[in-house]
Amino acid sequence: MKIYDNKKNPSAIKKTRVGKEKKLKEYNHLKIEHKWQVEWEKKKLYEVKNGTKGKRFYGLIEFPYPSGAGLHVGHIRSNTAMDIITRKRRMEGYNVLYPIGWDAFGLPTENYAIKTGIQPEKVTKINTDVFRKQLKSIGFGFDWSREVNTTDPAYYKWTQWIFLQMYKKGLAYKAKTNINWCPSCKIGLANEEVVGGECERCGTETTKKVKEQWMLAITKYADRLDRDLDKVDYLEKIKVGQRNWIGKSEGSQIKFKIITSGNFSSDPRMREDEEPDHLENISTQSDFVEVFTTRADTIFGATYIVLAPEHELVAKLKPQITNWNEVKEYITEVKDKKDIERIAEEKEKTGVELKGIKAINPANNEEISIWIADYVLATYGTGAVMAVPAHDERDYSFAKKYGLPIKQSIMPVYGKSTENEEFRYAVSAFVRRPSDGKYLFINSKQFNKISKVYGGIEKGESITEAGIREVFEETGYKTKLVRDLGFSIQSHFYHPDKKIYRKLVSELVELELVDDKKYEIDQEEVLLHEEIWMTLDEAKLVISEKKELHDFEILSGKFCFIDDGILSNSGEYNNLSSEEAREKITKKIGGKIVTKYKLRDWVFSRQRYWGEPIPIIHCDKCGIVPVPEKDLPVLLPKVKSYKPTDSGESPLSIISKWVNTTCPTCGGKAKRETDTMPNWAGSSWYYLRYADPKNKKEFASKKALNYWMADGVNWYNGGMEHVTLHLLYSRFWHKFLYDLKLVPTSEPYIKRTAHGMILAEGGVKMSKSIGNTIDPKDIVATYGADTLRIYEMFIGPFDQTVSWSTDSIIGSRRFIEKVWRQSFKVSLQKDNKKSSPQLITVLHKTIKKITEDIESMSYNTAISSMMVLVNEMEKAENIEKKDFKMFLQILAPFAPHITEEIWANLGEKKSIHKSNWPKWDKKKIVDEMVKIIIQVNGKIRGEMMLENNTDEEKAKKEALKNKNVLIWLEGKEIKRVIYVKNRIINIVV
């Protein structure tokens, strides 16, 4: 019957029969798809008007950057997904806005212009023309009348206008800052333009360079950007990405006094001439270091301070640092390391002690060493941290490497406390046998539990004495101390032998046998305990309690407890919870409770040509002067060369005719700002312009915004690579406009989802340089746009990364062809033919599933269910026309061309995309026949098909007819029958 030749045009269909001697009309996708694309454009099917009464829906995708390579199949995934959603919404009666535009400013076009000598605006026009043609060929339902382009002066006039409003409100300012510098492109790069320490565009390793830049004070919105994530429906991983970048931390700012070698105490633990309270007014001291910590409760365990190598105190204290040459060498070594490399979890941390100076821990007055280390950044917090290696994994690794003290100040807590607990102070002992290196464990015969030796510490006993005594009493072995492991644990439990609830604080020690001699012990202990000698690895296999396993880690020197707990070794704060202690300790030592953010102000200017000119004028007399709003837009000048300057200034800086101007304030000589905006500028507000793209008086009228943005963009989908910075910047701009009462909502997007990337065949990233991109033009020509759309959605779960396979696309094409064939089966049969009850059930179940799957973006399962339905149609003798039309309607958002063609062939005059979304009948999705499992005494002995909701008596009667079941009933008396309707019948004999 089929007709598929992968080497030729797959639409070439050989002779196929429907009934007698009737040939199936060829499915010519090229002709059909072009026909309907022209028709839709002619009738302006997808154009919408503002203010239409009734329901409205705004669906948005990230507008593309029109590169010279054109679209590849990876770009199509998001467009198709949102196209499906917006098509469904139209059929549900919504006035739908699904717009498109071009994010066309940026470095790639400028680099191409430098390489080829073609003007950037001409490159942009060529590229957008290619992209537009490609998108139209796939049949997306965009409202092309609202197309925007960030490089259009009519658009970037308003980008400049928004910048000026920020400047007037103090959110735009100029400051010297460290930037990422590409020595090859001779340009400053944003963090997002540096990948793995290299320039994203040319691959050259970047360096750091201090330069004066325009900045946007996004940090002033940090709290709202974090807090308002609770208001929106974003994927949880998107919220996590946003919050991690913002990096909100509630903590304490604490000052540590710095002393020089001449003032060091002979006792490293305490300076007897000073009490802790002397530090309350430490701000009067000339030398101190301020740290920010979220864990003030751990301060008694702080055993050293770490400064960022760039910290201003390092240079200030140079005369007191006795190993300055070593310190200077390390600073030079770290200087060009990328921040992301320095803080990477997997990277080994390095550092150098600042000898000759120490810090005073304000909680206990202990002298602690000061270090510089690469894992501390000057730009985060205060550029200094108090290191608590017992309770921070990064500090722990550093302390182990350099042999620094590790002191517990927080006890882990296991179990929940209850009323009327008995408190017990205990010792828990690892006992090693030197002869073979095995350890002693006790099996409690009464409770069948294996553990270390443990027991209470009696009044007047030391921890060591208690451990030695307990081991002897329970086993008869004499032991000696190897080491006090310096770690205590609190646990709450019920003691079944004593029938009491107990709160236990246990100290951990390691003991060793004096010899292998075993002395006689109380017979009662012999009956209670059985000794077992095991290696630690063997013990881990039979002991599963989390507390016990933590003890093994402590013994091996690997344990670091990072969670909240109960304070220990913390003076007057012992036994307080971490939460209680943080504020109390901070206040007592003169600290402050503060909120900090990892987020830094946005470096907004770029030293390049192809970007929006920053509308600022520099006057020697008046200083920085904004360009008057009436003079906007500040147009990019026409230039012959776009090459960056050797000085690192923008190419605009050498165009004297453009740079030299007059001051709007005093009329004197002045110069234009030559930095341009990043391409993030235009993409931060484009969704607003779509609401009113032709407006010349404002970026969009309030009336248009109140209509389309009454709640915000209803659904925004894009790549995971843009859900952090682009989304953050866009939310920031929107909140600023909201504060000016220019937009109706405080958040721009109600719902934000993301799709997984499509990799090239073999699972590698698509790249023009590798030559492995797949051009959708070729797929459309060979297989058809509808096939491409179906395949893109069927290839795998929408939120996951998947690999392209040209061979697999044939399956999607075959599905399209099956639909085409079924349409002739329907059109050629008599009108009075009805669908079978079974087919109707499958149809209505499929309508329900597609309706739900589109909303959850479960496109692959939606298509799978439609494939099942079409297979049922192939087997069916008849398909009623109205049933087939309902199927076409749920397929239409996925395959708009073929469904429109068949819809018209079946006599419909109005577009299928303007028809009403079908509703499933609840009664018809219930199966008429259901499978019932038959059990005898709980074991499966057979199965049967019964009518839905068959009663027990009839089910029993049918079960007793089953020959296989009768074998198990022979000679036995049926005592009772247990029947679970529509599922199972169990015959008990």
Joined together, the tokens standing for residue 763 give: 């699972």
User: Which of 564, 596, 561 is closest to 579 using CA atoms?
Assistant: 564
Give tens-digit pLDDT for 210-239: 889 999 999 999 999 999 999 999 999 999
Report the range out of 70-74, 302-306, 349-353, 379-383 with the highest average pLDDT. Answer: 302-306
User: CA 134 to CA 690: how far, in whole Å?
Assistant: 21
Token pair belonging to 344? 């990477």
What pLDDT is stored for residue 6 in this prediction? 40
Chain segment 144-181, per-residue pLDDT in tens:
999 999 999 999 999 999 999 999 999 999 998 878 88
Please give the C-alpha separations between residue 974 and each of 214, 924, 938, 965, 968, in angstroms, as whole numbers.
88, 37, 13, 12, 11
Residue 695 neighbours by CB under 8 Å, 6+ apart: 701, 704
The span from the CA of 962 to the CA of 736, in Å, is 74
The total number of residues written for the chain in this structure: 989
Helical H segments across 384-494, by residue range: 393-402, 463-475
Instruction: Give the H or E element holding residue 484.
Output: strand 477-495
Q: Is the omega angle on the peptide bond into residue 633 within 30 degrees of 0, that is, cis?
A: yes
Residue 132 phi/psi, 5-degree rounding, is -60, -45
Paired with 502 in beta bridges are: 422, 493
* pLDDT score, position 191: 67
Look up residue 242 and give its two tokens: 């946003």
pLDDT at position 254 is 96
Q: Nearest-CA neighbor of 873 among 344, 479, 865, 917?
A: 865
pLDDT digits (tens, 9 = 90+) for 255-298: 999 998 777 765 444 443 444 343 333 333 358 999 999 999 99
386-408 pLDDT, tens digit per residue, is 999 999 999 999 999 999 999 99
Q: What is the pLDDT of residue 553?
A: 86
**Location of structure tokens 């340009």:** 187
User: What is the crossing angle of helices 73-91 and 837-855, to 10°?
Assistant: 110
What does the pLDDT look like over 537-557, one tens digit per residue?
898 888 877 777 788 888 888
Pick from 370, 367, 405: nearest CA to 273:
367
**Which alpha helices (DSSP H) does 684-808 contain, by range?**
686-689, 702-708, 725-739, 776-782, 785-794
pLDDT score for 346? 66
Q: What is the pLDDT of residue 298?
A: 97
CA 283, 287, 291 angle in degrees (round to 5)?
A: 70
How many CB atoms sit inside 10 A of residue 860's CB?
17
Angstrom distances, CA of residue 494 to CA of 47, 336, 422, 488 = 71, 58, 10, 20
**Cα distance from N-terminal residue to C-terminal residue, the chain:** 55
At residue 419, the pLDDT reads 87
Helix (H, G, I), strand (E, B) or coil at 661: strand
* pLDDT of 5 over the 60 cut: no
* 700 SS3 class: coil
Within 10 angstroms of residue 910's Cβ, the number of other Cβ atoms is 9
pLDDT in tens, 901-959: 999 999 999 999 999 999 999 888 876 678 899 999 888 999 998 888 888 999 999 99
pLDDT tier at 412 (50, 70, 90 boundaries)? very high
Which one-letter amino acid corresponds to residue 159? T
Given a contact cutoff of 8 angstroms between Cβ atoms, the answer to whether 743 and 699 are in contact is no
pLDDT at 559: 79
Instruction: Give the whole-angstrom CA distance, residue 74 versus residue 470.
Output: 68
| Cα torsion angle, 83, 84, 87, 92, sign | negative
H/E segment holding residue 931? strand 929-936
pLDDT tens across 663-677, in order? 999 999 999 999 999
Q: What six digits make up the tokens of 470?
A: 């307990």
Give the least confident one: 41-50, 187-196, 384-393, 479-488. 187-196
pLDDT at 251 over 70: yes
Task: Report whether pLDDT(378) > 50.
Answer: yes
Nearest-CA neighbor of 647 among 674, 624, 672?
674
Q: Using alpha carbons, select from 316, 489, 353 the residue that is nearest to residue 410.
A: 489
Q: Please state whether the predicted TM-score (pTM) of the whole model is above 0.75.
A: yes
Q: What is the pLDDT of residue 466?
A: 95
